[in-house]
Amino acid sequence: MSLSNDFEKRIKAILGDEFEQFEEALEREPVRAIRLNPIRLGDTSANKASIILGKTSANLEDEILWEPTGYSFNSGTPGKHPYHEAGVYYIQEPSAMSPVSFLDPQPGEKVLDLCAAPGGKSTQIACRMKGKGILVANEIDRKRAQILSLNVERLGIRNALVTNMKPEILSEIFEGYFDRILVDAPCSGEGMFRKNDEAIDNWSEDNVELCAKRQTDILRSAVKMLAPGGRLVYSTCTFAPEEDELQAGILIQDGLKPVSIELYDGMVPGDIANIQKVRDIVGTFDFDEYISFQKQISSEINEAVKKCTARLWPHKLKGEGHFLAVFEKEGDISLNHGNYGINGSIKPVKETDIKPFMQFADENIKEIDITKDQKGFVHIQGCISGNPFLFGDQLYLAPEGMPGIRGLTVLRPGLHLGTIKKDRFEPSHALALAITTEAVRYSYELHDTSKAMQFIGGMSFREPGLSNGWYLITFDGYSLGWSKYAGGSLKNHYPKGLRIYT
């Protein structure tokens, strides 16, 4: 691996005699890992992981210390298996799983993942929330936000609002709202050099400084959205102290409380001294917050940064480079419990608005109870639950307490149920991935991998003697998508944009 001289000087300044071990680690193969999806699986044990990985020709290696559903593996192609498309697992390298462990989201809370694409950490948060509470997953880049939305869909997540907003605009709407916020900030990507040659090519001193300034702005928007007593975790996949310890120090100076954290084997605490070690080589940093921070730095700030931060180096543990820091805002978080209402509310629907869906549910879904309140507005309970609403001709199911979407650029407001087309309803792929065979009247099991991949590639199947209706297609019992049976054929309704042709 060819590293720039400027980057090497910076890392040598931080690591000293350990640089050679670091350099050797970058020459090794990246560690590959998955997180099993508890939304899909009742059992997320190592034994279950071994069975699932084995069916993809992969071998289980180790459990991930900081993520109980995480497992590293070797060989195999889990990303090209029906299990992947069914959302049975998410492929994510081990270090990237660490920030959510320290965020520690709980069921029923209001959680924000501010820089969420491609969705690894958002889906990890959702799995810990167990379908209860509100997850807002935001991404400023439109194309990356679309990938985020698809990953939320693939894992069967029902309680997420996916937005495409600038943090400073989002903060005007959600001031003081969230119990927990993750800021996995855009960074210079030094920790990804072993995985991504493009990160090496794009690295420069100027980019490090640009990222640091941008991160400070993003974090100030995040702090504004954090409820009193709430927790904020900041993370990057870089080694640059301007993007790591400097940001942690600024947050402490701005009034956030550092949270003492217990590090896992291989993690080391951050150190304010790293900033000066690097800047002694690089020179001055034309950044007001840096200049102000340098004037106010103290031994108390240094100790605070050490106790609330962790650095993950590839020569010290099995994973890529990462940094994280944990903070809380002064106040009593219990006062924010259940306080969901913000930004208005969604527009509820009546039976007459969604007759085609009502008919679809009656004919195809078993475990569903559709009721009306005194005003005639519809509420759904059972295998899916929430308040249905229309977004154009698209029908969504909002989780209880979902914020209003007025003024938001939204890609996914809750669970997408399907499309109302005049007098008929076509169920969405998201609905298929959010329910199980127990919930539907008709299902069709594909018994081998090749046939499942054919379905994912868009193939329809001839099958005489079935009843007409919508069939949930499954593999090993896991939902893959819909087919509609008529005239002796199961017509494939797998989304064209998601098909994988083999």
Catalytic residues: 237
Distance (Å, rounded) from C-alpha 439 to C-alpha 417?
14
Can you tell me the distance from the alpha carbon of 73 to that of 58, in angstroms, rounded to the nearest whole number?
A: 6
- CA–CA dist 154, 128 (Å, integer): 16
Report phi then psi at 115, rounded to 5. -125, 75
485 alpha carbon, distance to own chain's centre? 35
- What span, in angstroms and rounded, lies between the C-alpha atoms of 483 and 502? 19
Please say whether the beta carbons of 78 and 58 come within 8 A: yes
Q: How big is the CA angle at 392 (ends 388 and 398), to the nearest 5 degrees?
A: 25
Strands 70-74 and 394-398: unpaired
- The dihedral through the CA atoms of 387, 417, 91, 56 has a sign that is positive
Cα–chain center distance at 250: 26
Residue 36, helix vs strand vs coil: strand
Amino acid in the structure at residue 290: Y
DSSP state of 31: P
